[in-house]
Amino acid sequence: MTIRKAIDLLVSAHYLTRKAGYGTTVNPDRSLLSNFTLIQSFTNEMKEMGLATKTMHASVEKVEANDLLASIFKINPGDMVYHIVRTRGTTVPLIYSDTYLLPVIDIPLDSEEMYGSLYAFLAKHQIYFSYFEEFVSAVQAKQEVKLLLQVDAITPQLKRKRFSYDVTGKLIEYTETFYNAQQYEYRTKIFYKK
C-alpha cells in the first residue's frame, strides 16, 4: 500500500510514467516540470526566507457541512468535516486561515497538533496531496479577521482559496487564507519552458 502511494506520487510529480500494458518507467526528461508553478506551505516559505514561524492561535472542531461545503467537497449537507482555524506569523500575525478537511483521519480536537505544520501532520498520517488549485484576490476581510491580523479597517487583504487533491484526484482540503497585506507578500515560483 505504501509503495503504491509512493509510485502514485512520483507519477503525479512526473518523475515516472505509467502506461497500461507497458508498466511504469522513469522519465528521462524532467523538463516537463517547468510547466508547473511551485506552491509551498506557509511553514516552508518562511523557512526558505530564514524566518521562524509560529502559530498564535489554533482551534479544531468537527462540524456539519453546509450547502456550500457540500457542493465544494461533493458530499451531502450534514456530513461531518473538520474545521481548523489558525492565525500564524513571525513576531506579528501574517495569515489567518479557515480550513475544512474531509475526515480521512482522526484529528484530535484539543488543537495542540495544529500549532505546527498542517501538511507535516497529514504526511505523518500518510495523507499526501497530488496537486493544488489556488485562486488569489484582493478583498475587504471581515472585521474579526482584520483585528486578528492587526490591520487597519481600510487596507484590503490578500485572500487565497486553496483546493488540495490527493493522488486519486479527490478533494481533501479547502482553505481560505487571508494575508496581512501590510506585512506579507505572497510568493510562488513559476518555471517557464520555451
What's the confidence (pLDDT) of residue 27?
64
For residue 75, give the nearest of 152, 162, 174, 149 by alpha carbon: 174
What's the confidence (pLDDT) of residue 82?
97
Could you list the pLDDT tens digit for every one of the 194 residues in the chain?
Answer: 777 777 777 776 667 777 766 677 776 554 444 344 445 666 666 666 666 788 899 999 999 999 999 999 999 999 999 999 999 988 889 899 999 999 999 999 988 888 988 888 998 998 888 889 999 998 988 899 999 998 887 888 899 999 999 888 999 999 999 998 888 777 777 776 66
Domain ranges of the chain: 1-35, 38-190
**Cβ–Cβ under 8 Å, residues 189 and 44:** no
CATH code of domain 38-190: 3.40.1410.10
For residue 43, give the nearest of 12, 72, 86 by alpha carbon: 86
What's the confidence (pLDDT) of residue 36?
41
Query: E strands of the chain, at which residues?
Result: 16-19, 23-26, 37-38, 54-64, 80-89, 93-101, 131-139, 157-165, 171-179, 189-190
Give me the amino acid identity at 190. Answer: I
What's the confidence (pLDDT) of residue 74?
97
